Amino acid sequence: MWHMLDRPKVVVITGASAGVGRAAALAFAQRGAHVALLARDLAALDDTAGQVRKFGVRALPVALDVSDADAVETAAARVETELGPIDVWINNAMLTVFGPVASLTPDEFSRVTQVTYLGYVWGTMAALRRMAPRNRGCIVQVGSALAYRSIPLQAAYCGAKHAIRGFTDALRCELLHEHSRIHLTMVQMPALNTPQFDWAENHMPHAPQPVVPIYQPEVAARAIVWAAAHRRREVYVGMSTVKAILANKIAPGLLDRFLGRTGYQAQERAAPVDAAAPSNLWQPVTGAHRVHGPFDAQANGRSGALWLDTHRPLVLGAALVIAALSWRRWARRPDR
């Protein structure tokens, strides 16, 4: 637990200027952690840093593009110089493009892959260079149900999330081989109410939206904080994530057909796309960074599935008690 430490933890978060990254920065700061904030928009980072410092901790905003491996390495060195040894590194930065594969350009595919996949690789490698000599630390990969079950209209993003899971699993095996005490975990997210749906590159005729059910970024942030403090291989957020992953294991072909019928409409708002809508694919959209997106009225602020996943001993104990009581009632039945 954070309050049991002799000093606050140092946490690095990529994609910290908005959405899940900003929510996670505030959640860690509330628990006494110093936070390094990495993203492209310095003004947005400064704004996040101001909110973080209100909790009496230090914040270090660093403007960079996570697709630049040298910039990520330089930022990691700066964090350790100014805040101290990195305890937790959270890879969260992402980009996506909405549209059928045929509508995407090679440059768009490459850009999403460089940020959403390779950005995680560069961040993980920078963290490992510092954690390995100390033989401690935690790396959290912010994943998605889409790391298991792809959907139409986001092929580049789904491919990147699948790649992150493959990379993470391979690295976890290497850490186990080395008997390393560094913990590597992945948090699989549901649809979230973040600003990405207002500024993502879009080739669809209508503005994009998350597939319901939708959860608030604070739910994701709580899961990330929990994952950083517990040695769990993966954490699932939202019953929709659990259902998607399990259903894909059981009947992937049926899901292909179902998503082929419903996946387009589920990701498009009724309103037609605004031709002047901004895109953050190549440059950040200034002045629009915040935690929540435009779907507050539809978003859930809690997740029962996350509570169950993070309270397994309690749930198991309750299940055993209920089973024991049921058996006793059955055993005492006169007609048994």
For the annotated catalytic residues, the residue numbers are 157
Q: For residue 222, how many C-alpha atoms fall within 13 Å in the half-sphere facing its CB?
A: 17
What Å distances lie between residue 239 and 13, 215, 242, CA to CA? 26, 11, 5
Biggest CA-to-CA distance, the chain: 76
Contacts of 135 (CB under 8 A, 6+ apart): 180, 181, 182
d(CA 252, CA 246): 10
Strands 206-208 and 268-272: antiparallel
d(CA 252, CA 259): 10
Q: Which tokens sit at 58?
A: 């230090």
Contact 123, 72 (CB under 8 A): yes
Going along the chain, which residue ranges are E strands? 10-14, 34-39, 59-63, 88-91, 97-98, 138-142, 183-188, 191-192, 201-202, 206-208, 214-215, 234-236, 268-272, 299-300
d(CA 176, CA 109): 33
Q: Which tokens sit at 125?
A: 């490698």
